[in-house]
Structure 1
Amino acid sequence: MVLTLFVVNGMLSWEDYTSGSVPKEQANWFLQTVATFITSCSVEQIRLAPDKFISLCKRFKDQVLQLQAPMQGIAPMRTAIRKLQSSAEHLTSLHSDFLLLCIVAKCYKAGLSIMEDDIFEVDQPKDFFLYCYYGGILNIGQKRFRKALEYLHHAITAPMTVLNTVAVEAYKKYILVSLIHTGQVLPFPKYTSSVAQRSLKTYAQAYIDLANSYATGKISEVEKCLETHVDKFKLDVNLGLVKQVVLSLYKRNIQRLTQTYLTLSLQDIASTVQLETSKQAELHVLQMIHGGEIFASINQKDGMVSFHEDPEQYKTSEMIEHIDSSIRRIMLLSKKLSAVDEHISCDAAYLSKVGRERPRFEIDEFDTVPQKYMTM
């Protein structure tokens, strides 16, 4: 087989490349050779030996990271994924490696391009956890907090019998993104595994304390919590995200004012939300107007802010097209779920397990026929 011959005869062993004794020129040759192979290899052949192809690609990923050249591996790894996939709905073992390269290279858009497809087929559970975790980080990097929340939610609610590190780290970021996007952390849904519900909070106490202080609506309480746990946040490489949580509380407090007042001075806004100056209040209001978080106008002469209703009437052609697209996607998803449900219902392993768990009934446990029908 071409792939096997290529791996065995055409390359140095991986141990040689990771020993640190290989010159940079030789390592670059390795990367170029693998990249060329990935681009030109036959899809039919690599699918006959997927494990060897995956192993080669993972070594390629490790090498570009070792050379601190993650950008060099993005295009070949994306090609490798497309060649390895049986369909666009297939999550391969290379997805998480590709997303990791995008994160290290800070090339977030390249990572998002491969996350547009809905996933229904997973090779290994570990692949799914890492895919969701890295997907959450990529969306955080793009300030797409709603989508990041979705990916992190999948990582902590996916079925698991033993708690894993990926789920723990995902839960920490899930708390922070929840505070930024919604202002609260919702309880675990019922379908979350029991081990996750019991243990996740134990490993994220600093983040739970932050959520509790956030719920008070007081900046001073949040900053106090940040100061208390700053070392923990630094260790988890989440300090930047925590600072965004603090900033989001300013915005959320301003949003609350729009529910009470029609007009308010910048100075009053500053004092209410605990900003130092009216200039800072003006900056926050302008950022929120630009981001569509509030609808308001500022009178520069008297420093008054007027809050307005949402101007969206939901009757433009763009909005109708968006709603129609969402409906069609939901209908497609419904059909897919029905097909999966039917497939599981006919699965021999599932039926066997259900049959073993179902209690046996004795004949005398059934209700007898009422006497009045016996006499008819």
Structure 2
Amino acid sequence: MAGEPSFDEIISKIQSCSDPASIAKTLASFLNNLNENVFSARPHGQIDPLDTLSPAIHSFAYLYFLVYRCKASHGFHPALLEKVWAFVTTCDGEQVRLASDKALSFAEALVKMATESFQPIIAIRPLAVFIRRLQASSGQLTMIHPLLAKTCLLAQSFKDIIPIIDNDISDVDPQHTKINYKDFLLYHYYGGMIYAYLKKFDRAVEFFKLAVSAPAEVASAIQIEAYKKYVLTGLLHYGKVPVLPKYTANPVQRCLKAHCVPYAEFASAYEKKTNNVIKTELEKIKPILIRDKNYGLAKQCMEALHRRNIQDLTRTYLTLSIEDITSLIGLGSEPEGASHVEGIIVKMIESGAIFATISHEHAGGMVSFLDDPNQHNSTTTTDMINAQIQKATVITSSLVAMDQTISSMPAYFNKKASSNKPKRQRLTSGSDERNTHQGRGDGGETAGQTNSEEELDVDLKETRQAENEQPEKLDDLSEK
């Protein structure tokens, strides 16, 4: 049995394979057959392989050494961090994509080192840069996206991930990206949490919606958690819960209905815009919201309701006293209600949510509502419209390309051919017909009720099967 190749032989083999074809054909199997100690140990009296190899030219092999070096390290060391940064900023994305499992291991080891140093923020920028290198296009989802999003949430640092999550995902083909279903769900779940923390609720709603409406034969616990936040961010941004897309899987919709009853009841009360009713409902489900780490979002819903009610007043009145506004939006009975309302109005004026002036010439203060001074005829407005048109054009081109690709796939033709075949009708025997009516009383719906109960039991079973998909419970960041 031949022994392990020498250090010089390994380096020579790596340096002879620097193009994707030779890497895939010979180098991958060669490195996979080596003992792990070859990559993690520093050769005595010899140059460090990480100093011999180029992270830009020999990215595939460099990644192998870097993964095991990071795994063996406890906490960050300046010399290793320097190697990490050199790799993520110069590596060849095409080579790294050939070792997608090692790319994920590298990212996980990076987060582990940062966490052990009690500085998770250290891993964020290298991961963000690495994703850019790993992506074949800016719209491609990688296995590292959810890990980066989670790390950003734990570190409460979002500067480096915003440019990444602001790019809409258009490539989720597992053959190209090696991602799985859980990666897709977690990325959009954590991404939605980031947007909610930044109070970009329109984007948060979209991210949670993508998680909830993802194709599924069974419901995932991630989808249930995402839906809870979808309800609350929907109330925050729209004042109601947006209707889920029609393509949302039926098993998922039934599960949501069964597991999110308190959220549905809160949403129903919220849409009535009655302050006392909503406060009562909020107090009733407070323990559930705290358990789910959603109480901060729910409290923001109350503030959003006050702002929305004030905006409604601007459509009816030109001038109102702060005391009258406090009474009209249902805060008249609260201690310090008027000062609270004045604070809300000031923030709304500062943010441009309303146009108004506050005068204290009269006792208690008067608010005069004004028309929007922006006539939307500035160059800023024109630039904004042009940017949106350009974005829509890019999306349209991408959709056309995707449509052409899908239309040329053999699987598409097979599916279309099978859907065009006439469906065989199931013959119903007399005994079947009798069983259909059995148990139904005069005008009763016993059979229908039984079906609903059976569906609910199936949903609960499906959710238990998917419990391993439960996202890690993170702090209620919206309260911070």
TM bracket, shorter-chain basis: 0.7 to 0.9
Quick one: which of 337, 341, 357 aligns to 2:399? 337
Partner letter of residue 290 of structure 2?
K
Unaligned runs of 5+ in 1: 363-376
1:262-282 CA distances to partner (integer Å, 9 max, x unpaired)? 111100111121223322221
Contact kept, 8 Å, 1:74 with 1:101, in 2: the verdict is yes
Residue in 2 that maps onto 1:71 = 121
* SS of alignment partner, residue 305 of structure 1: strand
1:182-217 CA distances to partner (integer Å, 9 max, x unpaired)? 111122221222222222122211211111111221
Residue in 1 that maps onto 2:84 = 35
Quote the Cα distance in structure 2 between the aligned partners of 1:346 and 1:265: 66
Instruction: Say if 2:307 is the partner of 1:259.
Output: no
1:222 positional shift = 1.7
1:32 positional shift = 3.5
Contact kept, 8 Å, 1:111 with 1:138, in 2: the verdict is no
Contact kept, 8 Å, 1:31 with 1:64, in 2: the verdict is no
Change (3 A) 1:361 1:146: closer
How does 1:203-222 map onto structure 2 within 5 Å?
203-222=259-278
Contact kept, 8 Å, 1:155 with 1:170, in 2: the verdict is yes
Quote the Cα distance in structure 2 between the aligned partners of 1:65 and 1:325: 40
* SS of alignment partner, residue 149 of structure 1: helix
1:6 positional shift = 10
Quote the Cα distance in structure 2 between the aligned partners of 1:134 and 1:80: 19
1:358 positional shift = 2.0
1:7-48 CA distances to partner (integer Å, 9 max, x unpaired)? 653338x99x99xxx9xx833349738735545654443222
Instruction: Say if 2:372 is the partner of 1:310.
Output: yes
Instruction: Say if 2:237 is the partner of 1:181.
Output: yes
Quote the Cα distance in structure 2 between the aligned partners of 1:205 and 1:158: 21
Change (3 A) 1:119 1:208: same
Contact kept, 8 Å, 2:320 with 2:368, in 1: the verdict is yes
Change (3 A) 1:178 1:360: closer
Contact kept, 8 Å, 2:192 with 2:204, in 1: the verdict is yes
Question: Rg larger in 1 or in 2?
Answer: 2
Contact kept, 8 Å, 2:189 with 2:211, in 1: the verdict is yes
Residue in 2 that maps onto 1:125 = 181
1:104 positional shift = 0.9
* SS of alignment partner, residue 201 of structure 1: helix
How does 1:329-368 map onto structure 2 within 5 Å?
329-360=391-422
Quote the Cα distance in structure 1 between the aligned partners of 2:361 and 2:112: 59
Instruction: Say if 2:26 is the partner of 1:26.
Output: no
Quote the Cα distance in structure 2 between the aligned partners of 1:93 and 1:163: 21
1:342 positional shift = 1.5
Q: Using the TM superposition, name which of 200-209 and 167-176 deviates more.
A: 200-209
* SS of alignment partner, residue 76 of structure 2: helix
1:118 positional shift = 2.7
Quote the Cα distance in structure 2 between the aligned partners of 1:56 and 1:42: 15
Partner letter of residue 410 of structure 2?
A
Instruction: Say if 2:63 is the partner of 1:47.
Output: no
Contact kept, 8 Å, 2:355 with 2:372, in 1: the verdict is yes
* SS of alignment partner, residue 224 of structure 2: helix
Partner letter of residue 38 of structure 2?
N
Unaligned runs of 5+ in 2: 1-12, 15-27, 42-66, 175-179, 425-480
Change (3 A) 1:291 1:8: farther
Partner letter of residue 286 of structure 2?
V
Quote the Cα distance in structure 2 between the aligned partners of 1:7 and 1:87: 32
Partner letter of residue 112 of structure 1?
I
* SS of alignment partner, residue 264 of structure 1: strand
1:109-139 CA distances to partner (integer Å, 9 max, x unpaired)? 2221212323211133322211111111111
Contact kept, 8 Å, 1:152 with 1:173, in 2: the verdict is yes
Quote the Cα distance in structure 2 between the aligned partners of 1:271 and 1:289: 20
* SS of alignment partner, residue 159 of structure 2: helix
Partner letter of residue 288 of structure 1?
M
The count of aligned residue pairs is: 357
Instruction: Percent identity, please.
Output: 34
Residue in 1 that maps onto 2:38 = 9
Residue in 2 that maps onto 1:293 = 353
Residue in 1 that maps onto 2:108 = 58
* SS of alignment partner, residue 296 of structure 2: helix
1:149-196 CA distances to partner (integer Å, 9 max, x unpaired)? 121121112222211122111111111111111111122221222222
Quote the Cα distance in structure 2 between the aligned partners of 1:96 and 1:66: 20
Quote the Cα distance in structure 2 between the aligned partners of 1:205 and 1:177: 17
1:67 positional shift = 4.3
Instruction: Say if 2:208 is the partner of 1:146.
Output: no
Change (3 A) 1:35 1:188: same
Partner letter of residue 366 of structure 2?
M
Quote the Cα distance in structure 2 between the aligned partners of 1:6 and 1:293: 63
1:224-271 CA distances to partner (integer Å, 9 max, x unpaired)? 112111111111111111110111111111112112211111001111
Change (3 A) 1:26 1:154: closer
Quick one: which of 262, 279, 300 aligns to 1:244? 300
